Structure 1
Amino acid sequence: MIEDYILIRKIKSGDTEAWEKLVNKYYNQIFSFCVRRCLGDRVLAADLTQDIFLKVIENIDKYKFRGKFFNYLFTITVNVCNNYYNKKKFTKFELDERVLNLGSETIMTNLITQENINQIQIALNTLPDIQREALILKYYNDLKVKDIAKITGTSVPTSQSRINQGLKKLRKLLDREEFVNE
């Protein structure tokens, strides 16, 4: 935390080497999160990771030293990923291309899998931010509850409660007719 504070102070004063150190310190964690969030699409994850660090550098002068920089960085990361998926809609051309590239036996399986992923994403996006964030950190980033508590600045029981409540809401949402029949 102190190391981040020093690096950010240097970055704010124009030190490009400090920026490089900060990026190197967090790049792998952010990229790994994006890979999981992008369902293994490493090219998309690299693009999103670049967008995340661009947002950080564009807003670094506004950053206030409240809490851990890692929390600030992960908040931007979650928002960039969610914004991408909220805006991304498959065009007919993209869907046709996917179908043409699939073997005939796996077409239906892949379409069903993609539909399930889309339904989960839609349902996840309807959750309150604190529950959505806890679930993403737990299931997309494979963090333990105690680590989620540290990142979010809450207690372990509160983090566990957010995860459990979020899972219950997801189950209810995914059982609703509009999700089942879409």
Structure 2
Amino acid sequence: MTCTFEGDDGVQPAGLDRAASGGDVALVRRAADGDARAFETLYRSHVGRIYGLCVRLVDGDRVKAEQYTQDAFVRAWEKLGSFRGESEFSTWLHRLTVNLVLGEHRLLRRWVSFEDTAGDADGDQGLAAPGDCPQQRAGDRIDVERALAKLPKGARAVLILHDVEGYRHDEIAGLTGIAVGTSKAQLHRARKLMKEWLS
């Protein structure tokens, strides 16, 4: 199976992913029974978003991201039988990908501890939305990517999982093996640093 990625930044629009998820359960059942075309349909529906997630988790290294994307879909094919439909297929696939990438990078042993407490991390506002001008948006995106790359790996992973991918702190704790309070502290610190660097 060859990687084909959607868009310049490798991210498939979220609306397409959600629209496709309605038929995912039937496709997963068919793919689990060995229907390669059903799995190819799942692949095409989700590859852009999974690639975008991988790009963010590996500091923008697109070669590594492509490899992890392929690895994630190979792993998904192997584990389709374990998908029970208790969550959306896209959620299951995202968790599988995060576990794969974080495990490969051994990030779990390198969490950075911060002195500041979680405080009101959940109440903090996310990063400001880019302006309306396309050139300004492109410049903002480059600045954000550079700032993300400067974050400690643990803080970056929590920021991406929470603010970009939409995971809750209890889910992040379950995915990474850190405490919920640590996840909140990591997010608070990451947002503070990003705001300093981007202002």
Does TM, scored on the shorter chain, surpass 0.5? yes
Alignment of 1:1-182 (within 5 A): 1-86=21-106, 117=151, 120-122=152-154, 132=158, 135-139=159-163, 142-143=164-165, 147-148=166-167, 164-168=184-188
Match of 2:187, SS state, is helix
Q: Find the structure with the greater CA-based Rg.
A: 1
Question: Could you report, residue by residue, the CA deviation over 1:8-39 in whole angstroms, capped at 9, with x for unpaired residues?
Answer: 11112211110100000000000011112212
Match of 2:40, SS state, is helix
Shift of the alpha carbon at 1:168?
3.8
5+ long unaligned stretches in structure 1: 88-112, 126-131, 153-160, 175-182
State how many pairs are aligned.
122
Q: Does the 8 Å CA contact 2:27/2:38 hold for their aligned counterparts?
A: yes
Q: Aligned partners of 1:85 and 1:18: how far apart in 2?
A: 31
Q: Aligned partners of 1:53 and 1:25: how far apart in 2?
A: 12
Q: Aligned partners of 2:182 and 2:30: how far apart in 1?
A: 36
Q: Does the 8 Å CA contact 2:56/2:160 hold for their aligned counterparts?
A: no
Question: Could you report, residue by residue, the CA deviation over 1:33-52 in whole angstroms, capped at 9, with x for unpaired residues?
Answer: 11122122111000000111
**% of aligned pairs identical?**
28
Structure with bigger helix share is 1
Q: Does the 8 Å CA contact 2:51/2:69 hold for their aligned counterparts?
A: yes
Normalised TM-score (structure 1):
0.55
RMSD: 3.3
Q: Aligned partners of 2:79 and 2:25: how far apart in 1?
A: 15
Q: Aligned partners of 1:7 and 1:14: how far apart in 2?
A: 11
Q: Aligned partners of 2:61 and 2:190: how far apart in 1?
A: 24
List 4+ stretches of structure 1 deviating above 2 A. 122-125, 135-139, 161-171
